[in-house]
């Protein structure tokens, strides 16, 4: 975007080098009236279990920024319900901020990190590009170009909302470092557990099982090409167990499934909820390890050779497989977001990733009119 400086009038009368102050104010007022600030609409958590859409002014993008119009966003149910229900522990509130979060926990706060859109203003080579951004639910936003990840050919924009989830799973795999012939279990067939198992499909493993208490998820798991097992049928002596169920029982079973001196990668975020665990059993007797995987930083094994931008680029490139569409289980319109979060909180919506659709410009203009 270019800015034109005001130039003096070019009358035949010699210019004194100054202009009347009243005239300047009139010019500025006319410019403001002609070009009012751009507006955006965003979802905010304003109190525990209460959200609303709020309007805000958008700044003009600077030279190294872009204006993005959202096409889709996704709800990462586990994490976003922790925020929606005001269960973020105060001790780690600052550490758990999302990249483009506005406001502080517990609220009011604008939170979210699965947004896909199209660049409407910015450098010429970015105009019209479909991009992923770790941005809250908002119909238009201005961000630095470094915050955008171009969506490659072969990845539909709607599916690309899963980029942030694929990044979480990718980081966990970098943490654990699965090896040839490993026996692996993933506990919990939710959004993160399913994505972790889906990425592990291509590894040359001896065994991969996705352990889930809900038999209704069998079809989803098998559509990914992964073996579904109920807890009582899960095989033990695993080299690595990825725990993703965010339940006490799931973590306790993970300890039982790991082989001697095996490792459990804990991917769940419990918020402020205390967890009860039988550490006096398998954990102590068989010298097991529990290691946290948190996507805020690149896994230690890759931290010196991969940036977060490179990790996101790899994550979105992994989504070319149409099998990942199985994670997108339901859609709602942007203006319905307060009701959607209420339904998720009450268990009325049982979904993996709820896709939020944003209105096209003409539709939006009609709605505003």
Question: Per-residue confidence at 37, pLDDT binned at 50, 70, 90?
Answer: confident
- Specify the residue for token string 């204006």: 67
**What is the model's pLDDT at position 134?**
98
- Distance from first CA to last CA of the chain, Å, rounded? 28
**What is the model's pLDDT at position 362?**
59
* pLDDT(227) > 80: yes
* pLDDT(251) > 80: yes
> What would you measure as the largest C-alpha separation in the chain, in angstroms?
96
* pLDDT(366) > 80: no
Mean of the per-residue pLDDT values of the chain: 91
* pLDDT(192) > 90: yes
The whole-number average pLDDT for the span 246-265 is 98
The whole-number average pLDDT for the span 199-223 is 97
Phi, psi of 291 (to 5 degrees): -125, 130
Question: Per-residue confidence at 367, pLDDT binned at 50, 70, 90?
Answer: low
Instruction: State the helix-helix crossing angle for 163-176 and 308-317, rounded to 10 degrees.
Output: 110
Q: Is the dihedral of CA 292, 293, 294, 300 positive or negative?
A: positive
**What is the model's pLDDT at position 110?**
98
Q: What is the pTM of this model?
A: 0.88
* pLDDT(126) > 90: yes
**What is the model's pLDDT at position 68?**
98
* Rounded Cα distance, 258 and 185, in Å: 8
Q: pLDDT by residue (tens digit) across 337-357?
A: 999 999 999 999 988 999 999
* pLDDT(52) > 80: yes
Which residues does residue 78 pair with via DSSP β-bridges, in sequence order?
none
Question: Per-residue confidence at 8, pLDDT binned at 50, 70, 90?
Answer: very low
Phi, psi of 126 (to 5 degrees): -105, -20
In the chain, the domains with their CATH numbers are 38-164+307-368 (3.90.180.10), 178-292 (3.40.50.720)
* pLDDT(26) > 60: no
Higher-pLDDT residue of 115 and 296 is 115
Residue 95 burial (CB count, 10 A): 10
């Amino acid at each position: 975007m270019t800015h034109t400086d005001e130039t003096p009038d070019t009358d035949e009368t010699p210019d004194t080098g100054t202009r009347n102050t009243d005239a300047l104010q009139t010019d500025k007022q006319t410019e403001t009236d002609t070009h009012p600030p751009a507006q955006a609409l965003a979802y905010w958590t304003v109190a525990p279990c209460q959200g609303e859409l709020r309007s805000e002014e958008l700044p003009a993008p600077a030279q190294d920024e872009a204006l993005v119009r959202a096409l889709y966003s996704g709800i990462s149910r586990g994490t976003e319900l922790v925020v929606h229900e005001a269960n973020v522990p105060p001790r780690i509130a600052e550490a758990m901020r999302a990249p483009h979060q506005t406001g502080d926990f517990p609220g009011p706060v604008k939170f979210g990190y699965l947004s896909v859109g199209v660049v409407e203003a910015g450098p010429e080579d970015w105009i019209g590009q479909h991009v992923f951004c770790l941005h809250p639910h908002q119909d238009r936003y201005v961000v630095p170009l470094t915050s955008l990840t171009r969506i490659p050919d072969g990845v539909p924009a709607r599916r690309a909302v899963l980029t942030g989830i694929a990044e979480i799973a990718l980081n966990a795999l970098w943490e654990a470092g699965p090896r040839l012939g490993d026996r692996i279990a993933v506990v919990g067939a939710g959004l993160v557990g399913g994505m972790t198992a889906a990425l592990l499909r291509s590894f040359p493993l001896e065994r991969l099982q996705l352990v889930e208490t809900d038999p209704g998820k069998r079809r989803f798991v098998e559509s990914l090409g992964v073996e579904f097992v109920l807890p009582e049928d899960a095989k033990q002596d695993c080299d690595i167990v990825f725990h993703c169920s965010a339940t006490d029982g799931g973590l306790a079973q993970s300890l039982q499934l790991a082989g001697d001196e095996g490792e459990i990668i804990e991917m769940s975020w419990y918020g402020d909820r205390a967890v009860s665990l039988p550490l006096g059993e398998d954990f102590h007797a068989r010298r097991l390890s529990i290691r946290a995987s948190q996507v805020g930083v690149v896994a230690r094994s890759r931290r010196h050779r991969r940036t977060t931008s490179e990790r996101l680029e790899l994550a979105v490139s992994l989504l070319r497989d149409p099998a990942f569409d199985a994670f997108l289980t339901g859609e709602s319109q942007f203006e319905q977001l307060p009701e959607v979060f209420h339904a998720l909180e009450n268990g009325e919506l049982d979904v993996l990733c709820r896709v939020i659709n944003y209105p096209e410009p003409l539709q939006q203009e009609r709605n505003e009119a």
